[in-house]
Amino acid sequence: MGDRDWRPFVYGGVASCVSEFGTFPIDTTKTRLQIQGQKLDKNHAQLKYKGMVDCFLKVAKQEGFATLYSGIWPAVLRQATYGTIKFGTYYSLKNIIVEHNDGKESVSLNVICAVIAGAVSSAIANPTDVLKVRMQVAGINGNGNIGLVDCLKDLYTHEGISGLWKGVNPTAQRAAVIAAIELPVYDFCKSNLMNILGDKVSNHFISSLVASFGTAVGSTPIDVIRTRLMNQRRLKNCGNQIPSHIYTGTIDCFIQTYKNEGFWAFYKGFIPTLFRMGPWNIIFFLTYEQLKQLY
């Protein structure tokens, strides 16, 4: 095991955490937009937010600017695990394959490495994702900001340990899609721009921007399903009471969303997703590349 074997894991984790801090308020607006308008929600008659900017301003004004960072700690914890495993696994697998392929890269093999890295890392980090979503939407129901420990206690009390893995299937699917687009596209663009721009910041910037757009288009529908599954609460001892909205699983959520709200419901939150993925990827890859050059 050489020194290089651990570096992608450390660089990926550090760069992911830096990116999360810089773009988290946009993620909060995305989450709020994705859960509104559900027909099974008793408050569905009137949409609270008209778009990303309106959501951002209303949350900041009505609930305080700090609310935009509700869920930041489970999000950072998620990146510390998800980002570390995802990027470390991808680049480690990629390097092993390149070594056994006489130094030649293959886009198809890069995609396979990315899918494996994305799915495995997201499944492991799913509990932190659930906590992040719950904390981000707590203010909608007038509950105000809720702390990480209180959120964890509430989730465990009402839903048990299985509640921490709610939405794990679409989460893994989304992560696989994101990784399959994001990482190979970035590497492909960077490689093809190397002769023009070299291994410079300008190359990293353009490559990460191209990767962000493709990722947003491919992942938003799965992200909508994932967010709705994570946000719903299935009480163990609810008696005859029916929770405000229940989806029995990924397929049921997909069908109900399409039936009640139409195709474009799957692209709710697309603009903040794009606005977040762009800066997120730019910050991440610039940080990652600088760490590589520094050490």
Instruction: Specify the pLDDT at position 3.
Output: 45
Number of domains in the chain: 1
- What pTM does this model have? 0.72
Asked if the model's pLDDT at residue 85 lies above 90, the reply is yes
Task: Name the least confident of 58-62, 140-144, 155-159, 252-256.
Answer: 140-144
Domain CATH number, residue 196 = 1.50.40.10
pLDDT in tens, 146-182: 778 888 888 888 888 888 988 888 889 889 999 999 9
pLDDT, averaged across the chain: 85
To which H or E segment does residue 122 belong?
Answer: helix 107-137
181-240: pLDDT as tens digits: 999 999 999 999 999 999 999 999 999 999 999 899 988 998 899 888 887 765 444 444
C-alpha 149/C-alpha 145 separation (Å) is 12
**What's the domain range around 32?**
3-233+242-294
- Report the pLDDT value the prediction gives residue 233, as an integer from 0 to 100: 63
Q: 72-109 as b/e, with b when 16 or more CB fall inside 10 Å?
A: bbbbbbbbbbbbbbbbbbbbbbbeebeeeeeeeeeeeb
pLDDT, greater one: 245 or 211: 211
